[in-house]
Amino acid sequence: MTGLILFSAVKVAVLFVADQFKYEYLNRFNKKFISDGFKRLMKDGLVYSDCHHMHVPTYTAVGHATISTGVEPRIHGIYSNYWYSRKEGRMISSVYDKKFGRSPMNLRFPTVGDNLKRIYERSKVISLSLKDRAAILLGGYSADVVLYLDREGRFTTSDYYRKPKWLKEFNRTLKGKDKIFKGNSALFELFKMALKEENIGEDEYPDLVMLSFSSLDLAGHRYGPESKEVERLVLQLDTIISKTLKLLDKEFGKGNYLFVFTSDHGVAPTPKDLGGYFYPNKLKDSLNSIMKKIFKKDSLVLFVSSHLIYLNYDKMEGLDSKMVMDTLKSVMMRLKEVLKVYTSYDLKNMIPKDFVDSLVLNGYFEGSDVDMIYILKPYWLYTYGNVKANHGSPYFYDTHVPLVFYGLWKGRVDSRCSITLVAKKLMEALGIY
Ligand SMILES: [Zn+2]
């Protein structure tokens, strides 16, 4: 097939998603950055200073699926990390698959990688992360290699994807299970091996390699975004980016690659003066006892999972579902932590009145089993007692993320932009847009 002229601008596009990297970190740690990591990206790349995830919830699976597809959750269908499935009668993961264990089956829109493989079958698409949902939802249906960590701390894939021959050898080199401080550097080593073993950039078909660095998210939840641990991981990413740019210069040459840096969501500050922690588990019990007094029926609320509420239709004989939802809504609106409550009836006909309505609507997937969505007031964080800080809200601290394209374009854009731009620019660089 040599001699075929392809119209892709680059040989290789490399996308780095740093999980829970809020935009603010670029400013806060600027003085501590080395000269050729983030500083090189900011100086010589195309920087979007006001890029946001425009959906609720601002969670990992949702953010990654939006980055990879360029459409909002109401279209791509990944509307949370986990959700309740009435068919299964339990919570399932966004990448749950009955047949393969894990797969992109719940994703209803092709990723950039899927589009690339549809046009150039021989292009290679690789997606790597510490988290299964990040790797799978970036990669999509037709990715060649999709790897993530298993419970034992080794990289693995699901039966849905091909298992690379070189993986066993790589896993032998892994030292320790410390996901927080060793995870991101292990991922970088995996990236280098994948570039070599999968012959990335070696033929005339453009390739796409995507990495999602999860360690910062784990540290942010455990220690809070103000912590020394978070600082240490941001500075580690600075070094990884510096090494990556040098590697891409050497392997593919300047002008032959596009490097993209962004994040799947930000994080709220650890609660101090404003807000606090909110426990969805306790909400279900208190709502059920109030609803019992009104309707004389037990357990009308089946499930509450962060912002999502599911009703128990088995218990609702003789009751009108809209009336039950409207009653529940007025009960919830009396809670001091709650800003807004939406029933599925509201959402189906809603004309957004403010940014919260818009972000909720973008994140509402009509094909889901969800009956109601509630949004907490600013600086209130969902917790199950297991985190110091969290994300998921429609507020700027959770939505505002870095977005830099390096290698093809230069400049700075200060107007508001949506994270859906990533997929469009990647496809432009790969010559498939
Ligand atoms: Zn998280």
Q: What share of the chain is helix, strand, coil (3-state, %, to 5)?
A: 35, 20, 40
11 CA distance to ligand 1 middle (Å): 33
Is pLDDT at 346 greater than 60 in this prediction? yes
Element spanning 187, H or E: helix 179-197
Q: What is the DSSP letter of 256?
A: S
pLDDT band at 7 (very low <50, low <70, confident <90, very high): low
397 CA distance to ligand 1 middle (Å): 13
Is pLDDT at 115 greater than 80 in this prediction? yes
254 CA distance to ligand 1 middle (Å): 34
Q: From the CB of residue 239, how many other CB atoms can be counted at a distance below 10 Å?
A: 17
If you compute the radius of gyration of the chain from its CA atoms, what whole number of angstroms results?
22
Is pLDDT at 215 greater than 80 in this prediction? yes
Residue with tokens 């807000």: 275
302 CA distance to ligand 1 middle (Å): 25
Q: How many CA atoms lie within 13 A of 310 on its CB side?
A: 18
Q: How far is CA 393 from CA 87, 126, 282, 400, 414, in A?
A: 28, 30, 19, 11, 23
According to CATH, where is 3.30.1360.150 located in the chain?
276-382
Rounded to whole angstroms, how far apart are CA atoms 257 and 246?
12
Q: What is the pLDDT of residue 177?
A: 76
102 CA distance to ligand 1 middle (Å): 20
266 CA distance to ligand 1 middle (Å): 9
Residues 146 and 127 sit within 8 Å (Cβ to Cβ):
yes
117 CA distance to ligand 1 middle (Å): 30
Q: What is the DSSP letter of 286?
A: H
Q: From the CB of residue 356, how many other CB atoms can be counted at a distance below 10 Å?
A: 17
Q: State phi, psi for 234 to the nearest 5 degrees.
A: -65, -40
pLDDT, tens digit, for every residue of 391-429? Answer: 999 999 999 999 999 999 999 999 999 999 999 999 999
365 CA distance to ligand 1 middle (Å): 21
Buried b (16+ CB within 10 A) or exposed e, 394-420: bbebbbbbbbbbbbbeeeeeeeebbbb
What residues contact residue 347 under an 8 Å CB cut-off, 6+ apart?
360, 361, 364, 366, 373
Residues 407 and 257 sit within 8 Å (Cβ to Cβ):
yes
pLDDT band at 3 (very low <50, low <70, confident <90, very high): very low
Please report the sign of the dihedral spanned by the C-alpha atoms of residue 244, residue 246, residue 250, residue 255: positive
20 CA distance to ligand 1 middle (Å): 6
Alpha-helix residue ranges (DSSP H) falling in 213-320: 215-223, 228-252, 280-295
Q: Which whole number is the average pLDDT over 323-332?
A: 97
Share the mean pLDDT of the chain: 95
Q: Which whole number is the average pLDDT over 328-352?
A: 96
Q: Which whole number is the average pLDDT over 270-296?
A: 94
Thinking of the domain 12-270+391-428, which architecture would CATH place it in?
3-Layer(aba) Sandwich (3.40)
pLDDT band at 1 (very low <50, low <70, confident <90, very high): very low
Is pLDDT at 385 greater than 90 in this prediction? no
390 CA distance to ligand 1 middle (Å): 6
Residues 68 and 137 sit within 8 Å (Cβ to Cβ):
yes
116 CA distance to ligand 1 middle (Å): 29
pLDDT band at 181 (very low <50, low <70, confident <90, very high): confident
pLDDT, tens digit, for every residue of 254-264? Answer: 999 999 999 99
322 CA distance to ligand 1 middle (Å): 33
Q: Which whole number is the average pLDDT over 19-46?
A: 98
Q: What percent of the chain has pLDDT over 90?
A: 93
53 CA distance to ligand 1 middle (Å): 14
pLDDT band at 386 (very low <50, low <70, confident <90, very high): confident
216 CA distance to ligand 1 middle (Å): 9
303 CA distance to ligand 1 middle (Å): 21
Q: Which whole number is the average pLDDT over 320-338?
A: 97
3 CA distance to ligand 1 middle (Å): 46
386 CA distance to ligand 1 middle (Å): 12
Closest to 376 in 3D by CA, of 361, 396, 356:
356
According to CATH, where is 3.40.720.10 located in the chain?
12-270+391-428
Q: What is the DSSP letter of 410?
A: -
Q: What is the pLDDT of residue 6?
A: 58
Q: How far is CA 428 from the centre of its chain?
A: 22
- Which H, E and C letters describe 295-325, residue by residue? HCCCCCEEEEECCEEEECHHHCCCCCHHHHH
Q: What is the pLDDT of residue 2?
A: 44
Q: Which whole number is the average pLDDT over 344-362?
A: 96
244 CA distance to ligand 1 middle (Å): 25
Q: Are strands 308-311 and 372-376 parallel, antiparallel or unpaired?
A: antiparallel
204 CA distance to ligand 1 middle (Å): 38
201 CA distance to ligand 1 middle (Å): 33
292 CA distance to ligand 1 middle (Å): 35
Closest to 139 in 3D by CA, of 154, 153, 129, 151:
129
Does domain 276-382 fall under CATH 3.30.1360.150? My reply is yes
Residues 382 and 376 sit within 8 Å (Cβ to Cβ):
yes
Q: What is the DSSP string of 327-396?
A: HHHHHHTTSTTEEEEEEHHHHHT----SHHHHHHHHT--TTS---EEEEEPTTEEE-SS--SS---SSSH
Rounded to whole angstroms, how far apart are CA atoms 152 and 130?
12
19 CA distance to ligand 1 middle (Å): 7
Closest to 374 in 3D by CA, of 346, 340, 401, 418:
340
Is pLDDT at 222 greater than 90 in this prediction? yes
391 CA distance to ligand 1 middle (Å): 6
Is pLDDT at 4 greater than 80 in this prediction? no
16 CA distance to ligand 1 middle (Å): 17
294 CA distance to ligand 1 middle (Å): 37
Q: What is the pLDDT of residue 180?
A: 86
Q: Which whole number is the average pLDDT over 104-119?
A: 98
394 CA distance to ligand 1 middle (Å): 15
Q: How many CA atoms lie within 13 A of 101 on its CB side?
A: 8
Q: Is 351 left (phi over 0), alpha (psi -120 to 50) or beta?
A: beta
